Structure 1
């Protein structure tokens, strides 16, 4: 499916203007929307390529700039030490309430977008995996695909490093999917077990997948990329979205 990739929208949030990058089918019609949350580097080229891939399967993909309060609109952090340090700093500097109000703003806008059929899902990698899960606490979100979601197991997202995501999983109304790399040092075995136990206790509808892979194995840039696993995981995502969206 031919897509359009050059559209952006600037949404007003309680903490300032947030830019979202829009990827959508070029064909006229109504499509389900997927809010795709990036890793700590914002909307990099690997994130854009993955968003375009999902959009090409018949979805509107919205990629918000998660650090809009602290960086000029359009900022992309580099995959180097400086970019990593900045991204990690902002991950803990931003209040959790601001992540939540950002999600509310983009969900509200998506439901009124000309090309949207009103169905909303989320997807995310790394920091974005956590944000996709947290956004799914909104009852309008029907499905969430969360890849190697950081800081869920230890509740350290945001200012004060004391988020409550893992304690609110009983609020999930849609279906969630979790994908992990067993060799990912950011979410150890004990942390993964803690998340799964919380999902079980909450009675959540979820899928759980673990692979022999490193952190960021979906990123098609750098030494940890696993192209075969990428294909498997995208198939899982598309099946989830086909069921729910």
Structure 2
């Protein structure tokens, strides 16, 4: 499916947020996916992920997740300086600010004539945790989280009682969790904590642990696993096609 793209600047509770929009060229109404990036914002791999999902019949929104902390259009490098800056931004921004970003995108989607009204979320690394957070929103019907960081550790600042793990019971849509068993950022005990919490809260979820390292979906660098990446997209699309496009 051929796609097109544009960008829009949305006003949020914490400032102007640049959002990159990818969607099919053909006229019609399409479900949407908010795709949350790693700490580096919209890099080449994240842009290509958005294009892949849009090419399967979705309106895909990629927000600049740290818009309050960087000039519009900032992309951090996959290097030590980019990693350090991204991790600083992660600590500086609260979960509540991410919540208001999500609401701004939900409101924007509702203004689009080509939006079908069905919404999903997807993310990688930091973005996996933000997608999990977005799943708390009542309009998010399906969520795919790839190697989601910080859910088990609660490192991202939040008001007491508003951590994502403590609010898991609010997730009403379908959830998909994908992990790499060789990922040092989310060790086995951390994954077990997330799993037990999902079971205790009665969430409708599927759980996948693969033999992969952190960031195996990123098609740049030494961690990239092309076989797992293809499997990952197929797995996510299977859920979204059923829950959003079916």
What TM-score do you get using the length of structure 1 for normalisation? 0.97
Matched pairs, number: 244
TM-aligned CA deviation for residue 112 of structure 1: 2.3
* 2:17 counterpart SS class: strand
Structure 1 residues 132-171: aligned runs within 5 Å? 132-158=131-157, 164-171=163-170
Matches within 5 A, 1:148-227: 148-158=147-157, 164-227=163-226
- What displacement does 1:109 show? 1.2
**Counterpart in the other structure of 1:77:** 76
The corresponding residue for 2:2 is: 2
- Provide the rounded CA distance (Å) in 1 between the counterparts of 2:160 and 2:183: 21
Q: TM-score, normalised to structure 2's length?
A: 0.97
SS at structure 1 position matched to 2:109: helix
In structure 2, the residue matched to 1:93 is 92
Structure 2 segments unaligned to the other structure (5+ residues): none
Gaps of 5+ in 1: none
The corresponding residue for 1:17 is 16
Q: Is the 8 A contact 1:92 1:160 kept in 2?
A: no
Asked if structure 2 preserves the Cα contact closer than 8 Å seen for 1:111 and 1:119, the reply is: no
Secondary structure of the corresponding residue to residue 217 of structure 1: coil
User: Residue 156 of structure 1 contacts residue 163 of structure 1 at CA under 8 Å; is this kept in 2?
Assistant: no
In the TM superposition, what whole-angstrom CA distance separates every residue of 1:100-155 from its partner, at most 9, and x where no partner exists? 11111111211221210111000000000000010110110000000000000011
Q: Contact between 1:9 and 1:19, CA under 8 Å: does it hold in 2? A: yes
Mapped partners of 1:70, 1:161: distance in 2: 23
SS in 2 for 1:23: strand
Q: Which moved more, 1:168-177 or 1:151-160?
A: 151-160
Residues 56-112 of structure 1 deviation map (CA, whole Å, 9 limit, x = unaligned): 000010000001001111110000000000000000001221111111111121122
How far apart are the structure 1 equivalents of 2:55 and 2:95?
32
Partner Cα separation in structure 2 for residue 198 and residue 241 of structure 1: 23
Distance in 2, matches of 1:158 and 1:220, equals 30
User: Quick one: distance in 1 between partners of 2:109 and 2:98?
Assistant: 17
